[in-house]
Amino acid sequence: MTVRDPMLKLIEKRVMSFYQAFYEGKDVSPACQYRIEGLMEAAQVQGLMTDDALQQLKRDCYQRVFAETLSKGNLGAPTQLMTLMKRAPVYPS
């Protein structure tokens, strides 16, 4: 097993968890999002994943969780995860 395999599996697992939390209506902390994006960038810098592979990974994970296609406008940059949660209700005090 190469270093590539565990790294890619970890990224896929975390992206799936990220989308699953949104699907379940849970909050996802920015720190969690940034950690995943950092892993994706590290994989890209190390040559483990290309831009196209990262975009495809995001599309595939989204498709598996939401059973619909992630629109091109919601893909963002290759190492960017778009937050998909509804805006929190804010009331004036």
| pLDDT, tens digit (0-9, with 9 covering 90-100), for 9-49 | 999 999 999 999 989 988 888 899 999 999 999 999 999 99
Q: Enter the pTM of the model.
A: 0.81
CA nearest neighbour of 37 among 69, 80, 5: 80
Residue 33: give the domain boundaries.
Answer: 4-74
pLDDT per residue as tens digits for the range 48-87:
999 999 989 999 999 999 998 877 766 777 888 877 666 6
34 φψ region: left (φ > 0), alpha (ψ -120 to 50), beta (else): alpha
Is residue 40 in some structural domain?
yes
Given a cut of 70, whether residue 2 has pLDDT beyond it is: no
Count of domains for the chain: 1
Say how far residue 43 (Cα) sits from the centre of its chain.
Answer: 14
Output helix, strand, coil percentages for the chain, rounded to the nearest 5. Answer: 60, 0, 40
